[in-house]
Homo-oligomer: A and B are copies of this chain.
Amino acid sequence: MYQQVERVSHDGGMSKQPKYRQVADALRREIDNGTYPPGARLPSESELSARFDASRNTVRSGLGLLVTQGLVTSSQGLGYEVAKHEVFELNASRFEDLSFPQNGDAYSTDVTNAGRRPHQTFRVEIHPAPDDVAERLKVEPGSRTVLRFCHRFVDDVPWSTQATYYPSWLVEEAPRLAEPGDIEQGTTRYLAEHGTEQVGYFDEISTRMPTPDEARRLEIGAGVPVLLWMRTGYSDQRPIRCTVTTFRGDLNRMNYEIGDQAGRENEPQ
């Protein structure tokens, strides 16, 4: 059986929304106004089905909208829950004053300072340069690079992945880049000690929905985008590394401090 939803009414040209959108809109309003605060459970599908006089599938379509918009999450057997996010701030402009993320220095201390428990896995590979990385390192696409890869967690929640590519000419000058295990003093410092100082970098920031692979690694649910950060570091001569960081978009924010910040720290008057 099919019941037509009246789409053009006598309200002056406003066309009526489909029923599943009405469901989504109503619930979104109730989430916004605090009827269902972050962490609260929504009514079950069958309850909503009765309330909106809609089939279960229609209600599911509406809830599906909210899920893909990142407002609610669902789990089998448990129900729908209003999403709650606490974001972690990363200061990208202060991130590398001779302490380098790779071995967790800056990141781990940031996380610990925030009263959270950091944890990371780490591996080193020889890897052909992906096209975008090769372009930025000014090497041939597919040529040998050393990839130092890091998977970061905060309180055991996957937080971000970070892949740093070094061109092979640099690895000859600084062989420990290719060795597994941390470089205690930090890779940036280690490179400086071997005659290659990073004097500037170029950051590119973008966003998109995660690939299925990223969604798996970062345990991202539907409706959560990733924040992509690509940093290419330079010596005074040429590119020396390219770092690709993939953040869970719901948990992270990036900052840049540029110029004189005195006006930021002063007390309001």
Report which A residues bind B (CB closer than 8 A): 25, 28, 68-70, 87, 89, 92-93, 138-139, 198-212, 222-227, 232, 234-240, 249-250, 252-264, 266, 268-269
CB of A268 within 8 A of CB of B238, answer yes
Interchain CB contact (< 8 A) of A203 among B69, B212, B256: B256
Give chain B nearest CB distance to A22 CB in angstroms: 12
Tell me which residues across on chain B come within 8 A of A226, comparing CB atoms. 207
CB of B225 within 8 A of CB of A237, answer no
Number of copies: 2
Residue of B nearest to A232 (CB): B264
Complex Cα–Cα for A199 and B266 (A): 14
Complex Cα–Cα for A256 and B206 (A): 12
CB of B209 within 8 A of CB of A238, answer no
CB of B225 within 8 A of CB of A207, answer yes
Tell me which residues across on chain B come within 8 A of A138, comparing CB atoms. 268
Task: Using A222-B68, A237-B266 as known contacts, say yes or no to A206 and B249 having CB atoms under 8 A apart.
Answer: yes
Tell me which residues across on chain B come within 8 A of A237, comparing CB atoms. 262-263, 266
Task: Using A202-B255, A202-B256, A206-B227 as known contacts, say yes or no to A261 and B238 having CB atoms under 8 A apart.
Answer: no
CB of B238 within 8 A of CB of A266, answer yes
Interchain CB contact (< 8 A) of A249 among B207, B212, B234, B240: B207
Interchain CB contact (< 8 A) of A260 among B70, B236, B263, B264: B236
CB of A209 within 8 A of CB of B69, answer yes
